[in-house]
Structure 1
Amino acid sequence: MGKREQRRGRRAGEIRNRRLVRALPGLIIAVGLVLDLITPPAFTPVPLFAAAPLIAAPFFSQIGTIRVGAAALLSLAGLRFYGETLFNAVPSIELLTVLTVSVLAVYINGVVRRSNEQLASARVIAETAMRAVLPKPPDRIGGLQVAARYEAAQADEFVGGDLFSVTDTPYGVRLVVGDVRGKGLDAVEAVAVIVGAFREAAEQERSLEGVAQRLERALARESGRRGGLDEAEGFITAALAEIPPGATLVRIVNRGHPEPLLMYSDGALDVLQPELPALPLGMDLGVWPDRADEWALPAGSTLLLYTDGLSEARNADGVFYDPAERLRGRIFPGPEELLSALTDDVRLHTGGVTTDDMALLAIVRPAEGQPERRTTVKIVGLGGGAG
């Protein structure tokens, strides 16, 4: 089932639920009327008439809640008038009870509406803040086609610890995809530190290794400012990549991050494993020299970077999602189509239940005329220090 079909299914379910909720107060009042007419005088339907406005309060507008309360009150008054007991003591108390509950329902409706407005405002602020930290990149950067996607584990969440950034620099198109080990506002603050440091370093550092070292120093400064980063948010896995101007290669520095994938125009696929494993950023375990690996990037090929929210997504049997296996042999017209198909496939694998956010970034080197066949040359780049 694709993303569009899933949305249609959810929308249809929401419409059915809304219709049921809107019909429920009227049904309860109708049941109260019928029961009062067919049962002995000792039976009272007052609890049903009182329940109707309370059920309407969280879901109806203020006018709708008032109308339900008035309908319940008039229905009960009509029953007592029909039974010629309207002005007796007990019916008067029943009417007062329904009136009191109706007034309370209107008050509850106001509280719920204000809470919903505050929640909606908080969501807008969170979404705006996240978009400011992780702006969507342009469709084309430095002659390359680009697409990025942030998929939150919860549908209404906009703030998380995954990150991506792409920028065109004098040294080529540089990009980063990373994952903060943690959640909450501390994780978002770490994301802001890394993204800000990357944008600055990508413009200034001559080597990709130098960019990685600048990110390391930025985390160290942040840790010192805060008196030590929280253990959960104290390190970040990241993959940094660089595609030099006019070059047919990509350089990658991988700091403990899931290996990027290189997809070719004929459907073949390579997993870009680093020559030497490296620790994540922010792990203060001594000096760790960064070393960029290089891979050929033929025309028509696609570089895919992602966070472990993709590769650690599980199905009902606990089987992890394998992006390399699922994408091998498949061809996509562009990076947006690739990311859309990938997110749909993950939802299909997990049954729509995910426990971690995921960031996806796809870079396509457009084909020049006919798509080139893939090349199997892998070149190990020389290590470089911080610039």
Structure 2
Amino acid sequence: MRWLARRRADSRRTSKVSSTDLRVPAPPVWLRWLPALYVVGLLILEPITPVQWPVSFLLIALPVVSAYAHGPVFVAAVTVFAVAFEAVLAGTPCCAGRAVGYVGERHYVASYISTALVGMLGTFLAATRMRRERTLATVRSVAEAAQRVLLRPVPRRLGQVSIDTLYLSAAAEARIGGDLYEAVLTAYGVRLLIGDVRGKGLVAVETAATMLGAFREAAHDEPDLSGVARRVERSMTRRAEQLEGDEVAERFVTAVFAEIPEHEQVVHIVNCGHPPPLHFGRDGVTELEPTDPSPPINIGVMVGDSYHMDVAPFSPGDQLLLYTDGVTETRAPEGSFYPLLDRVRSWGPMAPQDLLVCLHRDLIDFSGGNLDDDTAAMAAYRLPTELTG
């Protein structure tokens, strides 16, 4: 019983620490200094305005200005300061622009009361803002944990292949979306997957999780890459049959399955309605267009699950770039689409990490910082023989 009590106490302490360790984004510096700037501006206006313009009344807004970036205790203190400062300005003839002060004049008393009431409102607003910021921080931490579970970090090296990945979610606060990728080392070589779930939101995330789980199992069991695609299709179909309504139609996935055998200098590709991978070889950069496109995953049950595998040369020193349509559908401010093939051809040979860093920066520059779709990319580089021996 004592052991159980200690465990419960430890659990409570852990939960308290984890809840207080959440990172709440700090407001901008200028917003934190805004109350002080507001007071300075008022002091500048007070002596230069006509007598009939009591600028000190503007202090009534100071608590609300403070509530944008500070907590309820700070706002309450600012409220007390604002009321006291109003009285000081009202009782100082040189500042009020009068021969005598008017500390107790009824208009000023009304201003004190109004400032106090606004201060109460500002204190409530600050408390509400901080509570929502903590909630958002919690959501972000949960999303980051879900991201790590759903899209596990891919090892930088699998066998003879060096790999790097890029993921950008359109829902910036959620951190996760409907694009997916995976790479596993199997007895048949390194097997890669990149896919794009139709739609966004929780439905897309759940579909992506189902797809990744099916691939991680099938990649080790199926000797043929086409068999991996069929196995994933069957798993997705079973899951879709458990759903009701129109959601089934929202759960198909375009994908590319790739396999890099250890003892063959080739790459096997099964393209299920997805943008074609780019191959970086001695002859430059080329698109690996499918000779017989396969249907997207979860549509094969309707059109036939005939998954065709293409074979292309893939020698040591060659590189493969898999990507989702979030890359090629990125638009410039004037509306043109991102010319991926032309861009990468102009960069020259790069390591996987450098290639994806360059791609990320170029997408941001091309779109003017407005990436409005989920984006995923994976680069796989076959190491030269001297680095694998």
- Spell out the pairing of 1:160-171 with structure 2 (5 A cutoff): 160-171=177-188
Partner of 1:3: none
- State yes or no: 1:279 paired with 2:289: no
Count of residues in correspondence between the two structures = 356
How far 1:32 moved relative to its partner? 3.4
Partner of 2:340: 323
**Aligned-partner residue type, residue 152 of structure 2:** P
- Summarize deviations over 1:324-379 as a string: whole Å, max 9, x none: 21112533442111100111111121111122111111111012359xxxxxxxxx
Partner of 1:107: 124
- State yes or no: 1:270 paired with 2:280: no
Q: CA 1:252/1:21 → structure 2, altered by over 3 Å: closer, same or farther? A: same
Q: For structure 2, which runs of at least 5 residues remain unmatched after alignment? A: 1-24, 93-99
How many Å separate the matches in 2 of 1:229 and 1:215?
21
CA RMSD of aligned residues (A): 2.3
How many Å separate the matches in 2 of 1:47 and 1:229?
59
Partner of 1:146: 163
SS in 2 for 1:114: helix
SS in 2 for 1:183: coil
- State yes or no: 1:29 paired with 2:29: no
> TM-score if structure 1 supplies the norm length?
0.86
- State yes or no: 1:94 paired with 2:94: no
- Summarize deviations over 1:159-192 as a string: whole Å, max 9, x none: 2000001111111111110000100000000000
- Is this contact kept in 2: 1:307–1:360, CA < 8 A? yes
**Aligned-partner residue type, residue 356 of structure 1:** D
How many Å separate the matches in 1 of 2:347 and 2:315?
17
SS in 2 for 1:299: coil
State the identity as a percent.
35
How far 1:67 moved relative to its partner? 3.9
How many Å separate the matches in 2 of 1:45 and 1:319?
52
- State yes or no: 1:18 paired with 2:28: yes
- Summarize deviations over 1:5-42 as a string: whole Å, max 9, x none: xxxxxxxxx99x93432333223333434444444554
- State yes or no: 1:334 paired with 2:351: yes
Alignment partner for residue 79 of structure 2, among 56, 69, 86?
A: 69
- Spell out the pairing of 1:1-387 with structure 2 (5 A cutoff): 18-45=28-55, 47-82=57-92, 83-227=100-244, 230=247, 233-264=250-281, 266=282, 268-283=284-299, 284-369=301-386
> TM-score if structure 2 supplies the norm length?
0.85
How many Å separate the matches in 1 of 2:306 and 2:28?
59
- Is this contact kept in 1: 2:240–2:248, CA < 8 A? no
- The structure, 1 or 2, with the larger RCO (C-alpha pairs under 8 Å, 6+ apart) is 1
How far 1:84 moved relative to its partner? 3.0
How many Å separate the matches in 1 of 2:122 and 2:56?
15
How many Å separate the matches in 1 of 2:46 and 2:355?
62
- Is this contact kept in 2: 1:141–1:167, CA < 8 A? yes
- Summarize deviations over 1:83-115 as a string: whole Å, max 9, x none: 432233332221121122122212211110010
How far 1:275 moved relative to its partner? 0.9
**Aligned-partner residue type, residue 79 of structure 1:** L
How many Å separate the matches in 1 of 2:269 and 2:35?
61
